[in-house]
Copies of this chain bind each other. A is one copy, B any other.
Amino acid sequence: MAKGAAELDDLIHQRVRLGIMSALAVSESLTFNDLKDLLEITDGNLSVHARKLEEAGYVDCIKSFEGRVPRTEYRLTDTGRRALEEYLNRMEGLIRTTRGS
C-alpha cells in the first residue's frame, strides 16, 4: 500500500527533475534557457539535475551554436518517456490508494 511511495523512481521524483521531465513531455525539445525560465531555477541547479537525467539516459542533451552563441537543447529519450509514464502510473496508483480513505 504505502509502499507505493518507495516504488517511485527517485531519479524522476525529485522536484526539479520532475519539472524537467514534465516540461519535456509536452515539448519536442527545450533549450537550457527555456527550462531555466520555466522552472525558475538557477543555472547551477538546472545543470546538476539535467546532467543526472542525461546520465540515466532519460534526456538527450544536444549542444550547438547559433552564430557564436552556444545553445543547449534537451529532449526526452524513449527510455525517459517510458520511465516517466511508469512514474505517473505509480503516482496515480498511490493517489488512488491514499484517497481511498
**How near does chain B come to A81, taking the closest CB pair, in angstroms?**
9
- For the complex formed by this chain, how many copies does it contain in all? 2
Question: Which A51-95 residues sit within 8 Å CB-CB of chain B?
Answer: 84, 88, 91-92, 94-95
**How near does chain B come to A77, taking the closest CB pair, in angstroms?**
15
What is the CA–CA distance of A40 and B1 in the complex, to the nearest angstrom? 12
**CB-CB < 8 A to A97: which residues of B?**
22, 26
| Interchain Cβ contacts under 8 Å between A and B, 5 examples | A22-B94, A25-B98, A26-B100, A88-B95, A91-B91
**How near does chain B come to A80, taking the closest CB pair, in angstroms?**
12
- The range of chain A's interface size is 20 to 34
B6 touches A19 (CB 8 A): yes
A38 touches B5 (CB 8 A): no
**CB-CB < 8 A to A16: which residues of B?**
5-6
A15 touches B25 (CB 8 A): no
- Given A88-B95, A91-B91: A22 and B38 interface contact (C-beta under 8 Å): no
